Amino acid sequence: ESRTGLALAVLGHLGSYGRPEALALLRRYVADGANWAWALDELAVREDDRALRALAAPVLARFPETPEGEAELTAAARGAYEPRPWHLWACDPGSPHAERVR
């Protein structure tokens, strides 16, 4: 986790310096990468609401709609270092994901 975390942090900083391709890599990693939660935290402080809302589906797809999956989802949301994406997803009345994140 720490090895990928350093790379994800560097991508986050590059995104802060105006490198949109770094943010695109982080978004892709959130959807497909093993250390997706760290990448989501990096994006939480750098991306706009629209981009973060678009990540709800790939993140929630990681958690099956079973009691165990819902428990893991709850733990992930509560354990997030940066809660902004989770709050956006939960408070978006037009989102099909809002109820599940609440």
Number of domains in the chain: 1
Whether residue 13 has pLDDT greater than 90: yes
Task: Give residue 80's pLDDT.
Answer: 94
Residue percentage of the chain with pLDDT more than 90: 86
CA distance 13 to 71: 32
Choose between 65 and 99: higher pLDDT: 65
Q: What is the mean pLDDT of the chain?
A: 95
Task: Give residue 92's pLDDT.
Answer: 86
Cα separation values, 99 from 36, 39, 71, 93, Å: 22, 23, 14, 9
What is the model's pTM? 0.92
Q: Which domain holds residue 47?
A: 2-101
